Amino acid sequence: FCFGYMWIFEEYENNSGGCCGGAAASVGGANHGCWIEPLYLLYKELPCCVAKVELTHSFFGRLVAKVLNMVLVERDSVCGRRAALDAIANRAKPKSGFPPLLVFPEGTTHSPGTLITFKRGAFAPLQPVQPVVFRYPFCNYDPGWVIQTGTLWHAVRMLCQVYNCLHVRWLKVVAPNEQELLGTEGKITGMDFAERVRDLMAEHGGDPPLIKTSHMYDDVKLLYRITTYGLKNAMSHTSSSELGTLLDWNLEDIEWAVEKFRIFDRNGDGNLDMAEFCQGFKLEQHDPVVQILFRALDKDGLGLLDFKEAALAVAFLSPSMKPELTIKLCFLLFSPDGAALTRRQFEELLEFVYLHADTHESCLLYTSPSPRDS
């Protein structure tokens, strides 16, 4: 009420009226639009929170962290993140003796109408989770904390409204299924569970459904590190999670690539033509292999490469590229739908890898007495 939230509408799918579905779950996960959600949940249940270690940089923050026995995460440290995972796993155990554990699995604030990629911390212990969805119907000021402003100014802006409104929806407790407990080969423990909970929150979180995006905390961090050019011409075509999946790049790699792309883009139009591409990568423009590579990267056939396409070129031209990743990228380049390679697409791939390949030999792969899908 002190911040103008005179109407808080609560809905309970689990009919328990509790933060973590009573004794059914020891972990609560919620979307994170601003600092109002932690205040509301502290008032409701006084849970044990997971928070960034920067919170303790102030005297008041240190005091709150000590009183609530918070799990503090060093987000930029591998060891810090691993220690936080271990602490979450210990507190998420049944009858651990700790209060319910509150986690914001996205790891940062964002627009309340979206759900960005969940981190696995709340889901790695593979314990039942209580999802909570917050919505902020507004007329003039969106309370989503998406710009770099202080808490005080953000509160002042909210207080300038006639009133603020908050909808809270407590979904049913979600437990990991058998497949998630056993794990999926090639996937990190808890990621399948995290994605299923995110799907449920997006679908049942209210009307209209929340929008899911592939962005994550690293994208938010990247926003403050790259230039306006990078925001407009580079990251508008992809996301850090996509580049991490495709190319195994971290934030420093992406930041380096954005700056290189800006230097290569001499006319500043946000794309690389054939001349800029060859000059930037120091390639011979009339080399047949270079021309085949450029055509393969240029999906729309306009003779221009955007940042994502140029990033794939960096990966291809890197001597440290892993063979399995190169094969994956080749498949993505020559199969536009990502489903299968036709005979002609496979011949083009062979011509790219082996300039004078005998494509007649490849026909043998597509001829067989057994039924094939061509």
Sign of CA dihedral 300, 302, 308, 311: positive
Instruction: Pull the structure tokens for residue 282.
Output: 């120091």
> Has residue 200 got a pLDDT over 90?
yes
pTM: 0.67
> Has residue 201 got a pLDDT over 90?
yes
Mean pLDDT of the chain: 81
What CA–CA distances, in Å, run from 81 to 47, 58, 176?
21, 21, 23
> Has residue 17 got a pLDDT over 50?
no
Residues 118-174 have pLDDT tens digits of 988 889 888 999 999 999 988 788 888 876 677 888 888 888 888 888 999 999 999
Least confident of 6-10, 184-188, 340-344: 184-188
Closest alpha carbon to 276 in 296, 262, 297, 292? 262
> Has residue 317 got a pLDDT over 80?
no
Closest alpha carbon to 317 in 351, 280, 344? 280
> Has residue 270 got a pLDDT over 80?
yes
Band the pLDDT of 360: cuts 50, 70, 90: low
> Has residue 366 got a pLDDT over 80?
no
> Has residue 197 got a pLDDT over 90?
yes
Q: Three-state SS for 212?
A: strand
Across 160-176, b (16+ Cβ under 10 Å) vs e yields ebeebbbbbbbbbbbeb
Instruction: Pull the structure tokens for residue 20.
Output: 């973590």
Residues 321-348 have pLDDT tens digits of 666 666 776 776 676 666 677 777 777 7
What CA–CA distances, in Å, run from 237 to 2, 211, 259, 314, 329?
42, 18, 15, 16, 17
pLDDT given for residue 357 in this prediction: 56
